[in-house]
Every structure is written in C-alpha cells, then in structure tokens.
Structure 1
C-alpha cells in the first residue's frame, strides 16, 4: 500500500514537472516569435520616436533582451553605412502608430476601426501574427503619441510612394463608418502635411473616399480650369507615384491597394477625357 502511494506521488511530481517544462518552452517559443517580428521585421523604425513607442510597449523589447536575439539600437546603428530601406515591419509599425493617432482623435475607439486594422493585418501577416500586432496597437493607444515627430521620422526614411499608401490606409480607417469626425479629418490633414505629401496628392486620395461633383479633377489633383496638357501631365505623374511595382516588397495587400488606387485614377482620367473630348 505504501509503495502504491509513493508511486502515485512520484507520478504526480513527474506530470507536474513535465507540464511546467512544456509551459516554459511554449512561452519561450512565443517570445522568440515576438522578438523575430520586432528584430527581424524592422529597420529604421527601431530608432527615433517610433522605436521609443514600440520599446515602451514591449517593456524595452523584453523578449529580445531575455532571449539574447535582439538589442535595441538607434536608427543610425541599425544598418551602418547602408542606405535607408523600408522593410515591411517599418511600414506596419508606422501604420500602427499613426492608426492609433487617428483612432484617438475623437477620444473613442470604435470596434469598426479595430476590425479594419485587424483585417488588414490578417491579410498581410496571418491570423496569429495579426493577434500579436493588435496587442501592440492596444498598448500604443494607451500612450501619448508625438504625432509630428513620428511623421518626421517616417518622412526622412520612407519613399514618397510608400507614404502615399500609408495615407491611403489612414483615409480608409477614417472613413470606415462612411463619415469622419472633424477631429479625424484635422489630424489626417496634419499627418499628410507632416509626411511631406503634396496638397494635390492629399486632395487626390481624399477624393477617393469623400467624393463630390468635382471628384474626378480632385483625384488627378488639378483644377477644373486646367488645360488638357496639364491634366495629361498630372495623370502621368500620378501613375508613376502610385505604380504597384513601387510597393511590391511590402506585400500583396499593399500592392492590391495601389492597384485599386491606380484604377480609380484611370477612371477619373477617362471621365475627364470623355467630358472634354480628348484622347
């Protein structure tokens, strides 16, 4: 009887020990996954105000420090002597920070806004990674975001065409309920200016979401009184700026968005050509 009880106790100890080991391994595995996303997916966004926000959110990049896989570095230290290149992680992290700024503009976060961001992340990174990134967004929303400084960092490091796609996403977020608040429109206009987006491109993208009788001209960023040659020139420049090949390295969903933007530009151009009767 005593031997039987000892055997039961021993079995319980073994099961508990194995369970604890497996739990620690699972936690470590998840931490490594998180560290890989942060350390492997980011370049210039590791430094500056964006790096400060993400570092704070992740507890000074706690998982990378514990696993030894990642060390927080300033933006000048990430790729010394190499030209700046925007990685997918740089784009997505910038997007999350600016999305949080938009969502905080009217002092209430809507479920529809979270769903919009979630759908974007799921399409680009899969459901599991999207869930992790939403946790990051949740913590970013709790912070005071230095929006102008963040935009300045993005402007200094991100190509113009990619900044246009970023603004396109933010307008989609703003108009997810078909009507934007004054606070949201004010902050997105400021973001556009701080990102160095031209007024013509800002009006063009805005017109894709908020249309009026002059929408076709606004999409092309020209006045109704512009000459045919001015319209053709504006159209050619927009095609160059929004060509999907320029954002192909950021993922299929971003490229798809650029394609949709290009279709709308072409439709606006065709509408004006039909009105004016030129080819």
Structure 2
C-alpha cells in the first residue's frame, strides 16, 4: 500500500503496543504486515500484552534512555493523531472548525500531500474507541518530556479551534496530561496560553503574582529553556517549527511583565 510510505519510514516504537493495534485496525491489512515484519515497515521493540497490563504489570519496554532515543517524527505524529481524536470527541460533537484546525496544522507541519494521508488516517482512528490510559502509558514511557509538552499544546489548540474550550474538553486534556506524566505546573502553563486573563503571564511562567523581579527573570530563563524549539529538534523541522509557538508565548508573557513591572 504505497500510501503508507509516509508513515512506515518514520515510525519506530509506535508500531508496537496499543498504539500499533489502533493503527493496524485503522489501516486494515497493515496488522498482518506488522505481525510478520513484512512490507518494509520499521517495527519498534516495545511490546504490550493486554492481559499482563490488566494484572498490574508494566509492559516490557526497554530502558527509558534507550527507548526515548527512538522517538521519531512518525511516532509523534501517530500519537498526536490518536489523542486529537479523543479531544475532538470529548464534548460529543465533532466541530468542523476543529477538524479544519487539525488539517491546517498537518499541512503546516508536513505539507499538503503527507497531511492529506495523515488526515485520512485521523478519520479512520476517530471511528474507534481509544483505550486512552493504555495509549498514554505507552507515550509516557516512550516519549521525552519536551515532546509530550508539545502534544499538550497541540491538543489545546484543537479544543480552542471552534472559538472556545468546553469544560468537557478541558477535563479530557487534563486526564490526558495526568496519564502522560505532565505536572500540574506544566499543564497550567500551556493551558494559560489559550486563555485571556490578568494573571496568564504569571501562569505561563509558572509563578505567582507575588513573584519578585529576580524571580520573574529566573522563571523566564527556566521556561525559555524548557520550551526552546531545539528541545524537539530530534522530531524534525516540522515539529520544531510548531514548538516555536510555545516559545513565543513565554517571551510575550515575560515582555508583558516587564512592561507592567517596569524592569528590563
């Protein structure tokens, strides 16, 4: 199936586990190719046994340092596709503006041809019931922290695409954040980038209104480092560009506080 080349060449660990099962079901015959190792696909070493998981044992993945070195643009893309379908269905309505946002983001990141293929896969995945906890557990174990933060930023962007973020969507993203091992501070920082309030700049920088000038400066340095686009450079230029939005929000928050507090 030539249409799968866009994904097969760049996926590593996400061909295994619950994510691999979802993609295999969405693409029909791909499941056989994964099982046999045929078709020129790169299959990750991680395996996920549902029965063992239900017994409370962890999947048999490699060590954290080894596995996270394997996260690729394709791994991120597939993870994003699956989680995006969950958020869009959170309020019980698939708003066309949200779907258009997903397509627009795919085009910006991957180009029109690859984006069209990705969106076709997205629509097939959206027809499934996603085992959210298991999927997030695989992502949390296999994907580095900076890339998981980028996933969260994208999910809030989807929720905001129709002009507002509903309570159901917020609750769903909060649940995803917990499963992904995202701290409440990081969650609230990214969430604040999509709201307008008097204390948003403080939330983005993960500080309170009582912070001193030196604390604000320190927070800015820390957040600029955390959200720097180079942190996701290993995912490819398409995702590095996407990460620039978060970085700009940090800069904007700092400049706002500079103006309000009158410091340089």
TM-score (norm 2): 0.84
User: Aligned match of 1:193 in 178, 182, 206?
Assistant: 178
User: Aligned match of 1:53 in 7, 11, 22?
Assistant: 22
Alpha-carbon contact 2:227-2:243 (below 8 Å) kept = yes
Do structure 1's residue 132 and structure 2's residue 117 form an aligned pair? yes
Output the CA distance in 2 between the equivalents of 1:38 and 1:216.
38
Output the CA distance in 2 between the equivalents of 1:200 and 1:241.
13
Alpha-carbon contact 2:192-2:203 (below 8 Å) kept = yes
Alpha-carbon contact 2:17-2:46 (below 8 Å) kept = no
Deviations 1:129-163 (A, max 9, x none): 22222121111111111112211111111111111
Aligned equivalent of 1:203: 188
Do structure 1's residue 76 and structure 2's residue 46 form an aligned pair? yes
Alpha-carbon contact 1:45-1:75 (below 8 Å) kept = no
Aligned equivalent of 1:110: 95
Alpha-carbon contact 2:80-2:151 (below 8 Å) kept = yes
User: Aligned match of 1:172 in 157, 179, 183?
Assistant: 157
Output the CA distance in 2 between the equivalents of 1:272 and 1:37.
44
- Structure 1 residue 61 displacement after superposition: 0.8
Aligned equivalent of 1:15: none
Deviations 1:106-135 (A, max 9, x none): 122111111111112222323222222212
- Structure 1 residue 177 displacement after superposition: 1.4
Output the CA distance in 2 between the equivalents of 1:160 and 1:200.
13
Alpha-carbon contact 1:43-1:86 (below 8 Å) kept = yes
Q: Rg: which structure is higher?
A: 1
Distance 1:119 1:62, change over 3 A: same
- Structure 1 residue 41 displacement after superposition: 1.6
Output the CA distance in 1 between the equivalents of 2:108 and 2:193.
22
User: Aligned match of 2:146 in 161, 172, 181?
Assistant: 161
TM-score (norm 1): 0.80
Do structure 1's residue 216 and structure 2's residue 201 form an aligned pair? yes
How many correspondences in the alignment? 247
Aligned equivalent of 2:8: 39
Aligned equivalent of 2:50: none
Aligned equivalent of 1:97: 82
Do structure 1's residue 265 and structure 2's residue 241 form an aligned pair? no
Q: Which runs of 5+ in 2 are unaligned?
A: 48-60
